[in-house]
Amino acid sequence: MTEEHSAASSIKSRLTRQSVQSAITSTQHKLKLYKNIPANGLILFCGEIEAEEGKGAKKITIDIEPFKPITSTAYKCQPRFHTEPLESLLEDDERFGFIIVDGNGILLATLQGENKEVLQRMQVQLPKKHGRGGQSAQRFGRIREEKRHAYVVKCCEMIQQCFISENKPNIKGLVLAGSAQLKQDLLDCDKFEMRLRPIVLGTLDVSYGMDMGLNHAISLG
């Protein structure tokens, strides 16, 4: 804000320059009242609005702590207040869960309006199929299946921890996404949380890894 105040000194119009610098100064004073940025962010409007007829302009400073997280950062010095961040807060308040799983790991996240939150992630290195024949192939195949099953069971435990609260689902719906067969194995596992089964919206094929896979699943959803 100090840099913006200094930059405003180059505004040619004296009236505009004074108005902009005054608004920036008021903004700085308001920000000093906050030791830390609130958990959901901070929205601040400062400027002049038309007062009653014959009384000129009225200076206002409004600070708002949103009731749910805002997802954008912006500084605008323009002739009008931009209320888009506030408008987005009034959009759909329903919360949806996403599970991105493959042979490299699992990611659990939620989407509420435009707010995306990663809850938990875990990386693994599952054994690949072995090329040897005979008894060696059987032994490696058994080890591979045991580790795959243990991984699926662990994933089910994480899913329950993230998406069950107060003995019920804390999301409106659940999407499973990933590559290969693992997402279906997860859904078919007898350890998969029974209370979540009725709200499973479907499965999606994505092949971009966990984080990019989440973005892809959201776009497909």
How do residues 5-38 score in pLDDT, each as one tens digit?
888 888 888 888 888 888 889 888 888 998 898 9
Which residues have a Cβ under 8 Å from the Cβ of 38 and sit 6 or more positions away?
65
Mean pLDDT of the chain: 86
CA distances from 12 to 17, 25, 166 (A): 7, 19, 61
Q: What is the location of CATH 3.30.420.60 in the chain?
A: 95-220
Q: Supply the pTM of this predicted model.
A: 0.59
Does domain 2-89 fall under CATH 3.30.960.10? My reply is yes
Q: Nearest 5 degrees, angle CA 102-CA 105-CA 111?
A: 85
Nearest to 211 by CA among 106, 85, 55: 106
Report which DSSP code applies to 147: H
Rg of the chain on CA atoms, in Å? 26
Residues in the chain: 221
Dump pLDDT digits (tens) for 86-106: 777 766 678 999 999 998 999
Contact yes or no for 79/62 (Cβ under 8 A): no
Question: Can you tell me the distance from the alpha carbon of 83 to that of 86, in angstroms, rounded to the nearest whole number?
Answer: 5
Percent of the chain with pLDDT over 70: 90
Helices (H), the chain: 2-7, 14-31, 84-89, 134-163, 182-188, 210-220
| Cα gap 27→2, rounded to integer Å | 11
- Which of 221, 165, 219, 164 is closest to 197 using CA atoms? 164
Give me the phi and psi of 104, to 5 degrees please.
-105, -15
Amino acid at residue number 115: N
| Confidence grade of residue 131 (pLDDT, cut at 50, 70, 90) | low
Q: Which CATH fold would you assign to the domain 95-220?
A: Nucleotidyltransferase; domain 5 (3.30.420)
Q: What is the pLDDT of residues 46-76, one digit of tens each?
A: 988 876 666 667 888 888 888 878 877 888 8
CATH 3.30.960.10 domain extents, the chain:
2-89
